[in-house]
Structure 1
């Protein structure tokens, strides 16, 4: 399989990627759209004429963001809806309230290297936020995505997935000593595996899902890391938020991605599969375990089981 290449790259911005694309009549949901690259992802989608829902924990911040996006794009079809990905009831309320088709779901919200924290269900916070909440959201919106016949799911992962596979026998660190970076890496691997299995399982519905590394960007995501990140990021590696949102917008809008799913992109291009971290440039490459179809199916079953237990 040849890697997908585009005309865009490291320095491309979300606005450049979306230029000339008309998504009038299309509807999009962007989680975590009140800060960081979520704002610029929502802004670029609004500029295409799409109706954009900002799914956020802090609706006051979301309303301010929506006003800013409207002022800069002229878009008026902007909605702000409360969503707490760590709360199954909040996710269920969001999906139950959704009416009509959905064309684009951008699973953007996330936490990084947070202190050891567990949800009331006993789920480790990063796994719950970055993966389980988005899994439940996508599952709950499945019919809306299928109604389009070409629904797209964009999954914001990270090169941090190279820090850890999903440790199926101990996803919640019941036996391992908690390590914030291993927990982050596991959750980001889960993001990629979700894209793989969603694309396989929902292919007949026309739904595709692709994952991405947005790049190294200074945002609220680094609030637990004092801006250090997980490794050797240099100033030359850093992107602006507008550049950081570019790959998300590419996966959401590019005609090249029609019917394409289960892949992982960096700097607006598909990146090679690697078996060691030193086989690709820093911040590039996708670990083979993150694309493993058996692991993807196993994670899907585990996720369904955890959510079912929470409902019982």
Structure 2
């Protein structure tokens, strides 16, 4: 796109840090990642927690003793999910609150009602490959609005609660789809570009990585660190518009395996002091110099570029 500000130029990015690895690999589960950890006294918020990875993430954190709030669009489903988690874990401190990430008013109301510190924010909710171009009442393309902008609004609005925690973590779920879709700032809502469902999805997931980069840069001094994660190929409601998983069987994960790395980033002491990075399969992903074959791993340099992250943050603030 001639003249467009595309947050995807292959800027030179030479990380000075060593890639972080952990004992937990592709097949690790949430319970294995949290084994022996006591999260008593910590509070977590998990968005999109009525199914799939969100439910498992909330269950695992609650099983380890955390107080967990489910941020959900459907409060009836949220209450049922919270009750099931309370019963299965024996943790009475699991509740649900209404949160519609496509509606910025709902996001503001939810954040305004939050009281006390927030130790773990897991930006899990998402939609994928909506077949038709759809925009929110504010004019935003729906996947960008839900997957990134709503979470950006939530994360920034909850900054005071995160700062009060004295060591908070933000985890944003991304995808390997980001590898093929830089963010195009000059046409976020696809008013000039042809709309491609998977391309728009990937673009929103690149934005989620950039959120982690810039939140860490701005807020590390407040004790807030953010990371992004590719949970892997998991059969959940997210694939309702794509006909289900077409990933080779050996690359597929169970829900407990898919939620393992998000939970690792949210709660494990192995991640103390770590922020602004992208993880998959229990370890920090390699930075690539070209897109891999389909189903490959790694992270694109444009998704970690600090200049891209700052520009997207400023643009998102303006959109709010």
TM over 0.5: yes
How far did 1:283 drift?
Answer: 3.7
Structure 2 counterpart of 1:133, from 150, 169, 173: 150
Match status 1:7 vs 2:51 = no
**Equivalent residue number for residue 308 of structure 2:** 295
**Equivalent residue number for residue 52 of structure 1:** 68
How far did 1:64 drift?
Answer: 1.4
**Equivalent residue number for residue 199 of structure 2:** 182
3-state DSSP of counterpart to 1:202: helix
How far did 1:59 drift?
Answer: 1.1
**Equivalent residue number for residue 248 of structure 1:** 262
- Alignment partners' CA distance in 1, 2:43 and 2:138: 32
- Alignment partners' CA distance in 1, 2:316 and 2:125: 18
Contact 2:233-2:245 at 8 Å conserved across structures = no
3-state DSSP of counterpart to 1:176: coil
Query: Can you list the C-alpha shifts for 1:185-225, whole angstroms capped at 9, x where unaligned?
Result: 10000000000000001111010000000010110000111
Match status 1:167 vs 2:184 = yes
Superposition RMSD on alpha carbons, in Å? 1.1
How far did 1:228 drift?
Answer: 4.2
Structure 2 counterpart of 1:120, from 137, 158, 163: 137
Query: Can you list the C-alpha shifts for 1:135-183, whole angstroms capped at 9, x where unaligned?
Result: 0000110000001121100110000101200011111101001000110
Poorly superposed stretches of 4+, deviation over 4 Å: none
**Equivalent residue number for residue 230 of structure 2:** 213
- Alignment partners' CA distance in 2, 1:76 and 1:228: 35
Match status 1:22 vs 2:31 = no
Structure 1 counterpart of 2:251, from 207, 218, 237: 237
- Alignment partners' CA distance in 1, 2:137 and 2:295: 37
Alignment of 1:189-204 (within 5 A): 189-204=206-221
Contact 2:48-2:126 at 8 Å conserved across structures = yes
- Alignment partners' CA distance in 1, 2:315 and 2:120: 25
- Alignment partners' CA distance in 1, 2:316 and 2:188: 11
Contact 2:179-2:202 at 8 Å conserved across structures = yes
**Equivalent residue number for residue 310 of structure 1:** none
- Alignment partners' CA distance in 2, 1:73 and 1:4: 31
3-state DSSP of counterpart to 2:183: coil
**Equivalent residue number for residue 62 of structure 1:** 78
Contact 1:163-1:181 at 8 Å conserved across structures = no
**Equivalent residue number for residue 34 of structure 1:** 50
Structure 2 counterpart of 1:43, from 49, 55, 59: 59
3-state DSSP of counterpart to 2:227: strand
- Alignment partners' CA distance in 2, 1:140 and 1:257: 24
3-state DSSP of counterpart to 1:85: coil
Question: Which consecutive residues of structure 2, in runs of 5 or more, have no partner in the other structure?
Answer: 1-16
How far did 1:275 drift?
Answer: 1.9
Structure 1 pair 212–203 and aligned structure 2 pair: CA distance change class (3 A) = same
How far did 1:281 drift?
Answer: 8.5
How far did 1:259 drift?
Answer: 1.5
- Alignment partners' CA distance in 2, 1:75 and 1:135: 29
**Equivalent residue number for residue 86 of structure 1:** 102
